[in-house]
Structure 1
Amino acid sequence: MIKASEIMAATNAVRDDFEFAGVTTDSRAVKPGELFVALKGGNFDGHDYCAKAVALGASGVVISHDIEQLPAGAAVFRVQDTLLAYQQLARAYRRRQKGLKVFAITGSNGKTSTKDLLAACLSVKYNVVKTQGNFNNEIGLPKTLLDIKPDTDIAVVEMGMRGLGQIEELCRIAEPDSGLITNVGETHMELLGSMDNIAKAKSEIVVDLPAEGFAVLNGDNEYVLRAAALTKAKVVYFGLGAGCDYRGSDIATSAGGTTFTCTEKATGKSVQVHLQLIGEHNVYNALSAIAGAACYGVSMEDSARALATARLTGSRQEIIYIGDITFINDAYNASPASMEAALKTLAEAKKAARGTGRTIAVLADMLELGAISEDAHRRVGRWAVEYGVDYVLTYGEQAAYISDEVQKLGGKTRHCGSRQEAADNLRLLAEAGDIILLKGSNSMQVGRMLELFK
């Protein structure tokens, strides 16, 4: 329950004291007794739905300007900025949870997968709340914090960003006790301009961590390593390098996933880990989860058991079978690093299958790369040839550079004018036993190829 007095303290609103069953910003999902916060965006205004929210059971609303008449008895909290009020309320609610630990995660690639894996490992020992889907921004983070229950021990929250200062702002809301940086890559190059700026933006997650907290860092990434000098927290490294506190080795891929050995530097102990996921990048994600969970007393053995059955948020290396064809749906988002990892995974999947089927990569634009976009897409084309992809289908303005590079290097490829055209070509091209990768930036909707193909 959330008291009206807490809302007033967090937002400077004025109202007599009583309790709400929860907080929501979605008028379509209001539950009886909840408080509805009327957020305003470029294409919507939650103030237009306050009456609907109350009709569905909301006991009160938070607004910033006059609205239509509400049913009698509904509480009205008037503030200057409803988004700021929502964030202030989430921070106040987080502070109310005595003993709660907040573990924040960011990175150019793999943060959502790492969030899922870390939450799985911590759940062996604790009651855990985690970011749902990829609600990792200034609206999604407060939602996660407000989902915390009185018996929650650890909240694992994902933090995304598109510019300098944004993770710092999210940290002011969540006040994390520990932070994890998966890697630093070229994602958001268009907005940040350089790898140095991307590294600086990601490092904001560890700057204000308490001395008793933990900064879990990728020990193999030169840009992540810089963050160690910016934090008072205890630094723990994960990776494949010999100096890492939690080091992976003996990586093997099979049709059932990936197996590797994790060694703890401090004790010399090792454990074998099996993932129902393919690819070296998922080894990194798993290592970071093991390292993060170990900071809170979860043994490597317990983490390994949790990882053996862990599942990722949809459209992240989701394996789907349609007839005798295997799809690797990794279409949620794309950057140069994740593209290379996906193509490498495709090659590993073919090797593990030991069949006669071919590999086909359906690739669309990687967005927000700015001046490096053409070069980055051409690199993807070179990687596709290097990793032995049998056929590359592309669509999107920038993805044309992928096909052009594949063609220059003698590979088989076709660039299509639309997703529908790519689907039509895929239906003609695909045969039993093929393994097909779907990959591109989220707005390119490569995952919809599955519907079109069916």
Structure 2
Amino acid sequence: MGDKSIFSLPLQRAVGILLSDSHQLTHHVSGDFIGVKIDSRLIQAGDVFIAIKGKQVDGHDFINEAISQGAVAIVVSEDFDGCKGEHKVPLINVPCPQHAFGKLANLWRTELFKGKVIALTGSNGKTTIKNMLKSVLQIRYKTGSTEGNYNNELGLPITIFDLPLNCDYWILEMGARHIGDIDYLCRIALPDITFVSNIGHAHIGEFGGRKKQLQAKSEIFSYGEVSLLDRDSPHDELFSLGCQHKKLDNIITIARKGIRNNEEDINVKWDFVEGESIFYTAYGHFRLQLNCLGEHNTHNAAWVVALADYCGLNKEEIIAGLSRVQPQDGRLQMIPCKDFTIVDDSYNASPESVEALLKIKHSSDRVIMVWGDMAELGDKQAMQEYHQCVAEKFIHYRIDWVITYGDYAYQTCLHGQSISEYTQFKHTENFFEIKVLIQKIIEQWQRENFDENASIYVYLKASNKMGFAQLTELLIEQ
């Protein structure tokens, strides 16, 4: 949150934007507003309150509270007719308060923010890339970014009104579940720099298939002066088509070293060798060990190196920024316990992110995988097939034990039990049962006097809805 006291816009200007869709106004409008809120509890004197009707709460029920806290205007739906004459501030009727919120966020961004907007979308890695990029850019520039999951049609405007306006850069995540979502968010934020981190299976069921998912993500390339492309991506040609309106020298490219025959047009090449991340740039190459595990995080960092280079940072600044980034809770987070180390990667799950987790396993490690349901991958048949295929990945990477939890994870267990000769599978019904089983497995290994150089890890992987954060807390308790 920045100091908004010096930033305001004429209320009449905002009303003019909204009245392009509606001509209903209950009071004469004058003065300025200093922000826009959709939560009446957060209203400060001088804010506009948007009354949005959600699944659980209707903002129209909190109009009086918003006014008592200093709201200077209330935006309501066009069918709202409650107590208009009793209010001492303007009530502005609009067809869709949610869209009004987006319009005012766009006004705020275009009229008051003078820095650059970096927008990213993708199936996986958005938050990690955002955190890396913010850490690096902050070495030289004042930088603000999306917090938490505020990356949708409500979260993005909230972010715009919350971020300091005196920043050099805003880094905005953009989430999507349907065609048109990214376009809507871009029309609000008007990004200067855009890119897609990757395309996986996340939310593919809601999109209605791969083709629609790609179409939705590609919408981001219609915006901005500069876009970044991954030349190794199987969708590079499609994304390049989306960038046709941009000049050739306004395309920044990354690729893994040695994958492509022609690397002359690559701005940043990257590699991952024995746990170290290596980056090759126009000013030479450098290497470091990231605190975020896995080669997929080196790929994430390659985007950051390319962008930081474009923004004028030098090698030393980039290394310093990347070196201080720590993994967030539930994203390949290492948690030492008495007899084992938890690798908590339970914030979300998709076939791609499962493989990224498995790739960090060393051959000498003893690993217990606690596996829960993935989500939003399609209909029931598709979900069952995805979960069955994951069993084959666990066997391929020679995971010692797989403990499953959840209805679809049960399919993983059944398929694994039917084909595995090495990996053991066991289904469980609750977190306490999981903890007890882990203790029994480790006690058995200790009685067997397994290789003293081997490390014991408990991997936690599931979609966030499975509530594995509670399991992590239970396992930490001694």
What is the TM-score normalised by the length of structure 2?
A: 0.84
Question: What does residue range 11-50 of structure 1 map to in structure 2 within 5 Å?
Answer: 11-12=18-19, 14=25, 15-50=28-63
Aligned to 1:372: 382
Aligned to 2:4: none
Distance 2:348 2:201 in 1: 13
Question: Are residues 1:117 and 2:129 paired?
Answer: no
Sort the Cα spacing of 1:311 and 1:224 in 2 relative to 1 into closer, same or farther, 3 A: farther
Sort the Cα spacing of 1:363 and 1:93 in 2 relative to 1 into closer, same or farther, 3 A: same
Question: Are residues 1:393 and 2:409 paired?
Answer: no
Distance 2:471 2:333 in 1: 14
Sort the Cα spacing of 1:430 and 1:30 in 2 relative to 1 into closer, same or farther, 3 A: farther
Sort the Cα spacing of 1:61 and 1:430 in 2 relative to 1 into closer, same or farther, 3 A: farther
RMSD, aligned α-carbons: 2.5
Question: Are residues 1:446 and 2:459 paired?
Answer: no
Identity of aligned residues (%): 30
Sort the Cα spacing of 1:308 and 1:225 in 2 relative to 1 into closer, same or farther, 3 A: farther
Question: What does residue range 310-349 of structure 1 map to in structure 2 within 5 Å?
Answer: 310-345=325-360, 347-348=361-362
Give CA-to-partner distance per residue, 1:353-396, whole Å, 9 cap, x none: x7xx7322111111121253233222221111222222111111
Q: Which amino acid aligns with 1:149?
A: P
Distance 1:70 1:117 in 2: 51
The answer to whether the 8 Å contact 1:248/1:287 transfers is yes
Sort the Cα spacing of 1:61 and 1:428 in 2 relative to 1 into closer, same or farther, 3 A: farther
Aligned to 2:450: none
Aligned to 1:228: 240
Aligned to 2:452: none
Give CA-to-partner distance per residue, 1:129-172, whole Å, 9 cap, x none: 11101211101111111223331111111111112221111111
Question: Are residues 1:208 and 2:223 paired?
Answer: yes
Aligned to 1:6: 13
- Residue 219 of structure 1 deviates from its aligned partner by 2.2
Distance 2:278 2:86 in 1: 61
Distance 1:440 1:181 in 2: 23
Q: Which amino acid aligns with 1:10?
A: I
SS for the counterpart of 2:218 is helix
- Residue 421 of structure 1 deviates from its aligned partner by 4.1
Aligned to 1:187: 202
Give CA-to-partner distance per residue, 1:20-51, whole Å, 9 cap, x none: 33222223333444332221112221112222
Distance 1:314 1:24 in 2: 28
- Residue 324 of structure 1 deviates from its aligned partner by 4.3
The answer to whether the 8 Å contact 1:103/1:176 transfers is yes
The answer to whether the 8 Å contact 1:186/1:336 transfers is yes
The answer to whether the 8 Å contact 2:257/2:271 transfers is no
Q: Which amino acid aligns with 2:15?
A: M
Aligned to 1:256: none
SS for the counterpart of 1:399 is helix
The answer to whether the 8 Å contact 2:371/2:461 transfers is yes
Sort the Cα spacing of 1:50 and 1:317 in 2 relative to 1 into closer, same or farther, 3 A: farther
Distance 2:376 2:416 in 1: 22
Q: Which amino acid aligns with 1:61?
A: I
The answer to whether the 8 Å contact 2:84/2:91 transfers is no
- When the two structures are aligned, how many residues end up with a matched partner? 437
Q: Which amino acid aligns with 2:32?
A: E
SS for the counterpart of 2:329 is coil
| More deviation, 286-295/310-319 | 310-319
Aligned to 1:383: 393
SS for the counterpart of 2:179 is coil
- Residue 426 of structure 1 deviates from its aligned partner by 3.9
Aligned to 1:287: 302
Question: Are residues 1:358 and 2:373 paired?
Answer: no
- Residue 108 of structure 1 deviates from its aligned partner by 1.2
SS for the counterpart of 1:272 is strand
- Residue 106 of structure 1 deviates from its aligned partner by 0.8
Distance 2:388 2:205 in 1: 17
Distance 1:70 1:317 in 2: 56
Q: Which amino acid aligns with 1:269?
A: G
Distance 1:50 1:315 in 2: 38
| More deviation, 28-37/157-166 | 28-37
The answer to whether the 8 Å contact 1:100/1:153 transfers is yes
Match of 2:156 among 115, 133, 141: 141
| More deviation, 200-209/151-160 | 200-209
The structure number with the bigger radius of gyration is 2
Question: What does residue range 96-175 of structure 1 map to in structure 2 within 5 Å?
Answer: 96-97=111-112, 99-175=114-190
Q: Which amino acid aligns with 2:459?
A: L
Sort the Cα spacing of 1:75 and 1:428 in 2 relative to 1 into closer, same or farther, 3 A: farther
Question: Are residues 1:270 and 2:276 paired?
Answer: no
SS for the counterpart of 2:235 is helix
Sort the Cα spacing of 1:186 and 1:241 in 2 relative to 1 into closer, same or farther, 3 A: farther
Q: Which amino acid aligns with 2:35?
A: G
Give CA-to-partner distance per residue, 1:170-217, whole Å, 9 cap, x none: 1111111111111111222223343333222211111233xxx22112
Q: Which amino acid aligns with 1:438?
A: L
Q: Which amino acid aligns with 2:177?
A: R
Distance 2:392 2:35 in 1: 51
What is the TM-score normalised by the length of structure 1?
A: 0.88
Aligned to 2:323: 308
The answer to whether the 8 Å contact 1:393/1:416 transfers is yes
Distance 2:300 2:466 in 1: 25
Distance 1:205 1:54 in 2: 38
